Amino acid sequence: MTSPWQLTAPLTALVQATAWARETGSSHVVLVVDPAVADQDITAQVHSALTAAGAQVRTVTAEQADILSIHRLADCIPYGAVTAVVGGGTAMDLAKLASLVARHPDAAKWLEVKQRGGLIALPPALGQYLPMLAVPTTLGTGSERGPVACYTLDGFKRLATGSVLQPAASLYLPDATRLLPAHLVSEGVLEALHRTIAPYIGDPIPQPDADPLCERLASALVTAGYQIAHEIRHGRTVPDQLRLRLARLSPESHTARIHGHRSPYGSRAWPIANELSTHLGIGKMRALPPVWAGVWARILAGDARFGSADRLHGMWSVIRAAAPHLADNPLRGLTQLMADWHISLHVSTSAHDNDCVARRCLRAWGADLPHLGRLSLADIRLLLDEFLDPRLATANGWPVERPRHSAERR
């Protein structure tokens, strides 16, 4: 019998999900469903596969991933039950954290601890994996095999991390992402690419074993991104095999073999984009592109607090090998890549917005905390002012879209 705590190779057929559920030995499965796919065939298919294992399946619709929702869902999970989740990153994060609290009620104290920082490191004693089957319906987060989960506490996003947050099983099916809008597929590639290369650039110390693997993954993601952009540009849907390839590549960006012993705090863009997204009420991948460009501008200007210029140039040579038409200059080439992938760099903000976001960043991730290190409020505010200003974007020839009014944005 397979232990529900044992990590399995990615599953690619519903019959394998049935076998996995049967081998866990549990008679109860709680199926957590993203409301966006609750009425889609993929949900019914997974439900049927689990009932075919002889388990009693209870379906619960996912809410937002906040502390109250985590506790409500945990109360629905009987002790000893396994969990399955069909949905995107938010549904998966909620299901992970609720499953953890249901299995280890004391884990709630880690999630609810009162601290200034936004990173919550879960202790190894909680275990290695969750007894969970994850069926992703979006691309890019890699959450179905990643050891992290985001949630909201007191109006701030937190990032919980620990090996216990890795689902024991993941299932990749073409039907799960077939209805995903094209722009979300492109954003998924960009998200996975950033997660792959940001720690590589942020940590100046070479990793002889991990660096080549990280470079290979970045190259594969860039190649996939341009193949996806080609399909979109010609008005075609992204083929099943291409979406499945991205689904398999994305979780690799979470693995130790890709990141080696690099600092886990190498990305300066992620925490800033995280707070920008929360403050404006927009998607994370709308917030990330201009912040990412701003961070690279600082690195290329020689500010080592944002990352290593040598490492950035080295990674850019890898990316240009996969897409030779991109500009030699990494910042110019990055904005070109985003335009090629139909991703806008513009987010409409006000001076007040930027000040609020900078203060949120400093509270949750800065003031000598490792994510933003020695960056000051003025450093963060300057980056936001420069790279969220549409006039500057136009002057630099970056792609912009019509600014949205505040009411539209929220």
Q: 3-state SS of the chain? A: CCCCCCCCCCECCHHHHHHHHHHHCCCEEEEEECHHHCCCHHHHHHHHHHHCCCCEEEEEECCCCEHHHHHHHHHCCCCCCEEEEEECHHHHHHHHHHHHHHHCHHHHHHHCCCCCCCEEECCHHHCCCEEEEEEECCCCCCCCCCCEEEEEECCEEEEEECHHHCEEEEECCHHHHCCCCHHHHHHHHHHHHHHHHHHHHHCCCCCCCHHHHHHHHHHHHHHHHHHHHHHHHCCCCCCHHHHHHHHHHHHHHHCHHHHCCCCCCCCCHHHHHHHHHHHHCCCHHHHHHHHHHHHHHHHHCCCCCCCCHHHHHHHHHHHHHHCCCCCCCHHHHHHHHHHHCCCCCCCCCCHHHHHHHHHHHHHHHCCCCCCCCCCCHHHHHHHHHHHCCHHHHHHCCCCCCCCCCHHHHC
Question: Does the pLDDT of residue 1 top 50, yes or no?
Answer: no
270/404 Cα distance (integer angstroms): 23
Closest CA to 97 of 139, 119, 69: 69
178/238 Cα distance (integer angstroms): 8
Q: What angle do CA 367, 371, 375 make, to 5 degrees?
A: 45
Report the pLDDT averaged over residues 76-81. Answer: 92
Q: What is the pLDDT of residues 152-199, one digit of tens each?
A: 998 888 999 999 999 999 999 999 999 999 999 999 999 999 999 999
**What's the pLDDT score for residue 109?**
93
Q: What angle do CA 277, 233, 173 make, to 5 degrees?
A: 70
Which comes out higher in pLDDT, residue 366 or 187? 187
Q: Which of 1-15, 70-84, 151-165, 356-370 has the lowest mean pLDDT?
A: 1-15
The fraction of the chain above a pLDDT of 90, given in percent, is: 80
Question: Does the pLDDT of residue 60 top 90, yes or no?
Answer: yes
Let me know: does 133 contact 97? Beta carbons within 8 Å.
no
Report the pLDDT averaged over residues 293-305. Answer: 96
Q: What angle do CA 218, 200, 355 make, to 5 degrees?
A: 105
Question: Does the pLDDT of residue 14 top 90, yes or no?
Answer: yes
Q: How confident is the model at residue 4 (pLDDT cuts 50, 70, 90)?
A: low
The fraction of the chain above a pLDDT of 70, given in percent, is: 93
Which comes out higher in pLDDT, residue 39 or 409? 39
**What's the pLDDT score for residue 9?**
83
Residue 398 amino acid letter: W
Report the pLDDT averaged over residues 241-262. Answer: 92
**What's the pLDDT score for residue 390?**
55
Any idea which residue has 């905390």 for tokens? 369
117/70 Cα distance (integer angstroms): 20
Q: How confident is the model at residue 400 (pLDDT cuts 50, 70, 90)?
A: very low
**What's the pLDDT score for residue 388?**
85
**What's the pLDDT score for residue 117?**
77
Sign, CA torsion 327/331/334/339: negative
Question: Does the pLDDT of residue 291 top 70, yes or no?
Answer: yes
Question: Does the pLDDT of residue 401 top 80, yes or no?
Answer: no
Q: How confident is the model at residue 368 (pLDDT cuts 50, 70, 90)?
A: confident
Report the pLDDT averaged over residues 268-281. Answer: 94
Question: Does the pLDDT of residue 404 top 60, yes or no?
Answer: no
Question: Average pLDDT of the chain?
Answer: 90
**Would you give the distance in Å from CA 118 to the centre of its chain?**
16
Q: What is the pLDDT of residues 219-231, one digit of tens each?
A: 999 999 999 999 9
Q: How confident is the model at residue 366 (pLDDT cuts 50, 70, 90)?
A: confident
**What's the pLDDT score for residue 265?**
84
Q: What is the pLDDT of residues 116-144, one digit of tens each?
A: 778 899 999 998 899 999 999 999 999 99
